[in-house]
Amino acid sequence: MSFFSTLFQKKAPLELFDLSKIGIDMHSHLIPGIDDGSRSMDETIAMLAKFESLGYKKIITTPHIMQEVYPNTSEIINQGLKQVQETAKSLGLSIEIEAAAEYYFDDHLIQLIKQKDILSFGDNYVLVEFSFHTPPIFEDQLFFEMQMAKYKPVLAHFERYPYFHDSLDKAKEYREKGVNIQVNLNSLTGHYGPQVRKQAEKLIDANLLDFVGSDCHRMQHLMMLEEHLSNPYFHKLEKLNLKNGEL
């Protein structure tokens, strides 16, 4: 083989990343009919079966609690969870299913914290999200309130907030204050755009994340994830000290 043919030879694709190495997904929207996720029990069961086929052993689904848009409560979520668990078991699925919530950053969340009416997961972790349009204010107060109540905040999909793009300073600052950073796996596929993908890659390269999640709303999200498992950044996840396995 000549020098030039060697130079321009295409690299063989990497092996597909084994998602069983993550094993536990802690961000999804699988309880039917209560937010912008699954629209029916049939959809939910199909997605759970796909999670299982991809190697996941446990799903912690996290419906939105956003007072003005998705006014879910702990009771609504737990009732929906019970129905999903019973249906999945009756159909022979072995994947473990739990529920928490994805809490929107607003005054209602502070009220719920004070009432101790919070759905946490694992070691008292609580998933929270910011507005995609406006940078948060007083977030230090929120995180302080959570930590004083013995909750451990997890900031959902840090890479998707456009006002944090081109810098990792906030991720470093939050983690120094005990806030965990979560990244969506499909950010690495380009699903949310090139800037989001770039930010996710930077977080991985700098080892500035604590959890990864599917943020699965539809079967298409899992199909897209499966199609991109040869992406080298999935393989880089193995070298990080992710906390998914502790859940």
pLDDT for residue 11: 65
What is the value of pTM for the model shown?
Answer: 0.94
3-state class (DSSP) for residue 242: coil
Helices and strands in the chain, H and E counts: 9, 9
Residue 133 pLDDT more than 90? yes
The helix (H) or strand (E) run that includes residue 41 is helix 41-53
Residue 10 pLDDT more than 70? no
pLDDT for residue 8: 53
pLDDT tens for 36-47 read 999 999 999 999
Provide the domain limits for residue 117. 19-246
Residue 133 C-alpha from the chain's centroid: 19
Mean pLDDT computed over every residue of the chain: 95
DSSP state, residue 157: T
Question: Is residue 116 in some structural domain?
Answer: yes
What does the alpha-carbon distance between residue 49 and residue 95 come to, in Å, rounded to a whole number?
8
Question: Is residue 6 in some structural domain?
Answer: no
Question: Is residue 29 in some structural domain?
Answer: yes
Question: Is residue 74 in some structural domain?
Answer: yes
Q: How many domains does the chain have?
A: 1
3-state class (DSSP) for residue 191: coil
Backbone angles phi, psi at 240, to 5 degrees: -90, 160
The DSSP bridge pattern shows strands 102-104 and 96-99 to be: unpaired
Question: Is residue 3 in some structural domain?
Answer: no
* Encoded tokens for 32: 């039917």
Provide mean pLDDT across the span 128-155. Answer: 95
Q: What is the CATH number of the domain that holds 155?
A: 3.20.20.140
What does the alpha-carbon distance between residue 160 and residue 131 come to, in Å, rounded to a whole number?
10
Which of 62-66, 139-143, 230-234, 243-247 is predicted with the least confidence, judged by mean pLDDT?
139-143
What does the alpha-carbon distance between residue 226 and residue 203 come to, in Å, rounded to a whole number?
21
Which of 2-11, 71-80, 138-147, 210-219 is predicted with the least confidence, judged by mean pLDDT?
2-11
Provide mean pLDDT across the span 83-91. Answer: 98
Provide mean pLDDT across the span 175-200. Answer: 98
pLDDT tens for 104-127 read 999 999 999 999 999 999 999 999
Q: Quick one: which of 109, 158, 112, 110 has its CA closest to 135?
A: 158
Question: Is residue 5 in some structural domain?
Answer: no
pLDDT for residue 12: 62
pLDDT for residue 66: 96
Q: Quick one: which of 191, 198, 183, 161 has its CA closest to 243?
A: 183
Please enumerate in sequence order all residues whose Cβ is within 8 A of that of 40, keeping only pairs 6 or more positions apart, or say none. 32, 33
Question: 119 and 100 in contact (C-beta within 8 Å)?
Answer: yes
pLDDT for residue 158: 98
Please enumerate in sequence order all residues whose Cβ is within 8 A of that of 155, keeping only pairs 6 or more positions apart, or say none. 128, 129, 130, 174, 179, 180, 181, 182
Question: Is residue 139 in some structural domain?
Answer: yes
Residue 9 pLDDT more than 90? no
Q: Quick one: which of 154, 177, 169, 244 has its CA closest to 203?
A: 169
Question: Is residue 12 in some structural domain?
Answer: no
Please enumerate in sequence order all residues whose Cβ is within 8 A of that of 6, keeping only pairs 6 or more positions apart, or say none. none
pLDDT for residue 148: 96
pLDDT tens for 55-68 read 999 999 999 999 98
Question: 72 and 112 in contact (C-beta within 8 Å)?
Answer: no
pLDDT band at 166 (very low <50, low <70, confident <90, very high): confident
